[in-house]
């Protein structure tokens, strides 16, 4: 910005540059704070206490779960839920079956089947079968069948089948659908919906607004920093211009 532009005022002693920098800071604050408020209204943070969802979500990782009704959950979703039969604390597992499904494992190729159709699960820990122990389950209406991605180290619906139960939990037990990993830094990212479930009836769910929220926060931070930096830069340029006069 030239010195003549910096000295041009709006009639109240403010230069064009200072007006624009103030506007940038104001808009940046709206975006930055608005993004956090938006996130607080829609998402809840959770810490994953075990490695049952490894390698998708490591033990101790922080995730953001969108507050959704259980009726919105689809196959392939990772959910946070709480059910008295499973324990006192919220748990994080992947939904592989919904009401009316017949879930079984494993085929000769070691794959999980839903209503007789094999499902590709590239997110699984290791390269072995989809479950080290075979099982079959019929999921009642309004229920969800849940498995961890680390099938050899996950206490999930398979364990509850041994109690003579169907192993599933009611949709009403869902507290949120995991949309993103928030910590550690190296794992930050949006959870991708697995393509293996997309062809089944009902398809897969769509991610919540975690990406536009992130963009709003980042854009707001950039505008705030850029607007705040204008003052010192303008003063330095003014001093240099005066020294050459």
Which residues are tagged catalytic? 52, 93
Lookup result for tokens 């101790």:
60
What whole-number distance in Å separates Cα of residue 87 and Cα of residue 53? 17
114 SS3 class: strand
102 SS3 class: strand
Neighbour-count burial of 243, counting CB atoms closer than 10 A to its CB (0-12 exposed, 13-18 middle, 19+ buried) = exposed
| Gap between the terminal Cα atoms of the chain | 18
Closest CA to 38 of 63, 74, 67, 69: 67
203-207, long-range: CB within 8 Å, 24+ apart, which pairs? 203/74, 204/74, 204/75, 204/76, 204/77, 205/72, 205/73, 205/74, 205/76, 205/77, 205/177, 207/179
């Amino acid at each position: 910005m030239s010195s003549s532009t910096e000295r041009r005022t709006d009639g109240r002693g403010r230069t064009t540059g200072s007006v624009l920098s103030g506007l940038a800071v104001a808009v940046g604050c709206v975006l930055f704070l608005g993004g956090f408020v938006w996130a607080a209204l829609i998402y809840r943070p959770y810490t994953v206490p075990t490695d049952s969802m490894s390698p998708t979500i490591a033990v101790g990782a922080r995730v953001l779960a969108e507050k959704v009704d259980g009726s919105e959950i689809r196959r392939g979703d990772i959910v946070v839920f709480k059910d008295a039969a499973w324990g006192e604390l919220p748990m994080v597992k992947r939904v592989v079956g919904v009401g009316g499904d017949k879930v079984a494992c494993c085929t000769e190729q070691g794959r999980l089947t839903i209503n007789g159709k094999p499902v590709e699960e590239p997110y699984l820990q290791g390269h072995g079968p989809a479950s080290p122990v075979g099982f079959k389950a019929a999921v009642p209406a309004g229920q969800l069948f849940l498995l961890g991605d680390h099938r050899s180290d996950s206490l999930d619906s398979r364990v509850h089948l041994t109690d003579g139960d169907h192993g599933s939990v009611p949709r009403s037990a869902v507290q949120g659908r995991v949309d993103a990993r928030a910590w550690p830094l190296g794992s930050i990212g949006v959870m991708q919906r697995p393509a293996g479930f997309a062809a089944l009836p009902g398809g897969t769910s769509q991610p919540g607004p975690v990406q536009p929220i992130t963009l709003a926060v980042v854009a707001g931070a950039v505008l705030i920093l850029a607007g705040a930096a204008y003052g010192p830069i303008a003063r330095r340029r003014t001093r240099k211009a005066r020294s050459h006069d």
